[in-house]
Amino acid sequence: MTLPPRVVLVHRRTEFDELVDRHGTRGQAAFFLSVRGQSIDAAEQRHQAIKAAIATVSAAIPADWRRGIVERADLPRWSFAPDDIVVVVGQDGLVANLARYVDGQPVIGINPEPERNPGVLVQHPPAAVGALLVAAAGRQADRHIDDRSMVQAVVDDGQRLIGLNEVFVGQPTHQTARYLLAAPDGRAERQASSGLIVCTGTGATGWGLSAWLERHSAIDLPASADRRLAWFVREAWPSPVTGTMCTDGVLSRGESISVRVESDRLVAFCDGIESDAITLAFGQRVAVGLADRTLRLLA
């Protein structure tokens, strides 16, 4: 017997939730903010908007379909089935948090606060979710899929990270990292810097864009579906043994940029989630390039 579709709703705790948890009651949280010249009203309004969006999504799921709900902090412990339909309610960053845990499932991004969120990844209003669920379940989603390229870091001991926006390799304190960088075009340079960013087209709207603007780079940033990446070295520092000539570039399909660690300890992490970092010891190598999988975002 064929099981009905399962919809997995992904959300995160709101600032209002965190305030009440920290201070015990709404009143105490409001007092904490008021003595600092702030009001709890804005946080509470955002909380209500997100809860209303979640309620709208839940009501749109057909009664005979299966459903699940998972909070962002529990994503590493959640098991997604291959035929799940995933609905993300929240900010764009929540889709990036989710991306590493799904593999081929259609993802629907719901924007509960269009006046606040850019909507790069959460592209739909809550009221649209019913039609989107029907399209996804009816195998019509392929006609509307925005395949977002992803980036991966592979360490020489087999450890691997996959991200939607970018991979960062550097010091966990963001102080000087020392390493030997090798680009696929044959360039190699020993560097001391604030770290390396390798970004996708999605990440090129965030941290990657910041690095590109800061250095006035001449490279073309990738678009979200482009099967190429951009990389930037942050604040490379010249010395008798380190250079600054190999600080940005583009990676095509099948190419990677390699970093051999020459510091006591570096880390690699994706999408700004330092708590899920891989620790890299002196002498280890990490290669960063395009991931085989993509994020299948329902546009």
Q: Record the pTM.
A: 0.88
- Is residue 165 within 8 A of residue 200, CB to CB? The reply is yes
Q: What is the pLDDT of residues 41-51, one digit of tens each?
A: 999 999 999 99
Give the residue with greater pLDDT, 263 vs 191: 191
pLDDT over 90, % of the chain: 85
Q: How far apart are CA 255 and CA 171, in angstroms?
A: 24
pLDDT reading at 140 higher than 80: no
Q: How far apart are CA 121 and CA 150, in angstroms?
A: 14
pLDDT reading at 232 higher than 80: yes
pLDDT reading at 2 higher than 90: no
List, in order, residues 6 or more apart from 138 with CB less than 8 Å away: none
Q: What is the pLDDT of residues 68-118, one digit of tens each?
A: 999 999 998 999 999 999 999 999 999 999 999 999 999 999 999 999 988
Q: How far apart are CA 52 and CA 76, in angstroms?
A: 26
pLDDT reading at 34 higher than 90: yes
Q: What is the pLDDT of residues 265-285, one digit of tens each?
A: 999 999 988 888 999 999 999
Query: Could you tell me the end-to-end alpha-carbon distance of the chain, in angstroms, rounded to an integer?
Result: 31
When pLDDT is averaged across residues 207-217 and rounded to a whole number, the result is 90
When pLDDT is averaged across residues 194-209 and rounded to a whole number, the result is 93
Q: How far apart are CA 51 and CA 6, in angstroms?
A: 21
Q: What is the pLDDT of residues 12-25, one digit of tens each?
A: 999 999 999 999 99
Average pLDDT, the chain: 93
Domains of the chain: 6-139 (3.40.50), 149-292 (2.60.200.30)
